[in-house]
Amino acid sequence: MRSPRSQPRLADRVLVAVALVLAVFGIFMIYSAGAVELPSQATGAWRRQALWLALSLIAFAIAVRVPLRWLEWAAPALYGGSLLLLVAVLVVGSGVGGRSWIRLGSMSIQPAEFAKLGTVLMLARLGAGRRPPPEHLWDLWPYAAAVLVPTLLVMAQPDLGTATIFAVIFLAAAFWSGLPIHRVVLVVSPLVSLALAFSTPLWAVFFVFVVAFVIGARPLLSEAVLTLAANVTMGVVMLPLWHSLAPYQQARILAFLQPEVDPQGAGWHLIQSRVAIGSGGWFGKGFGEGTQKRLAFIPEQHTDFIFSVVGEELGFLGAALVLSAFAILLWRVLRQAERADDRFASVLAFGIFAMWFAHVAQNVGMTVGLTPITGIPLPFLSYGGSFLIVSFLAIAILERIALEERSGA
The pLDDT, as a whole number, for residue 1 is 41
Render pLDDT for 297-328 as a digit per residue (tens, 0 to 9).
Answer: 777 888 889 999 999 999 999 999 999 999 99
Average pLDDT over residues 98-112: 82
Q: Phi then psi for 99, rounded to 5 degrees?
A: -125, 100
Q: 397, 308, 405, 388: which is closest to 45 by C-alpha?
A: 388
Q: Hey, where are the domains in the chain?
A: 23-63+261-409
- pLDDT tens per residue across span 16-36: 999 999 999 999 999 998 887
Residue, of 345 and 106, whose pLDDT is higher = 345
Task: Choose between 193 and 318: higher pLDDT.
Answer: 318
- Give the per-residue pLDDT at 252: 64
* 351 within 8 A of 120, measured Cβ to Cβ: yes
What is the band of 78 on the pLDDT scale with cuts at 50, 70, 90? Answer: very high
Residue-wise pLDDT for 348-393, tens only, equals 999 999 999 999 999 999 888 888 777 789 999 999 889 999 999 9
Q: Are 68 and 407 in contact (CB under 8 A)?
A: no
Distance (Å) of CA 171 to CA 147, 233, 243:
10, 20, 27
DSSP letter (8 states) at residue 104: E
Mean pLDDT for 61-71 is 94
Determine the Cα–Cα distance for residues 271 and 255; give it in Å rounded to an integer: 9
Q: From residue 319, how far is each of 20, 231, 290 by CA, in Å?
A: 18, 38, 14
3-state secondary structure of 94: strand
Are the CB atoms for 340 and 405 separated by under 8 Å? Answer: yes
According to DSSP, the residues that pair with 101 across neighbouring strands are: 94
Q: Which of 206-215, 238-247, 278-287 is predicted with the least confidence, judged by mean pLDDT? A: 238-247
Give residue 5's pLDDT band: very low, low, confident or very high (50, 70, 90).
very low
User: Prior bond to 8 cis, omega within 30?
Assistant: no
Distance CA 114, CA 83 (A): 9
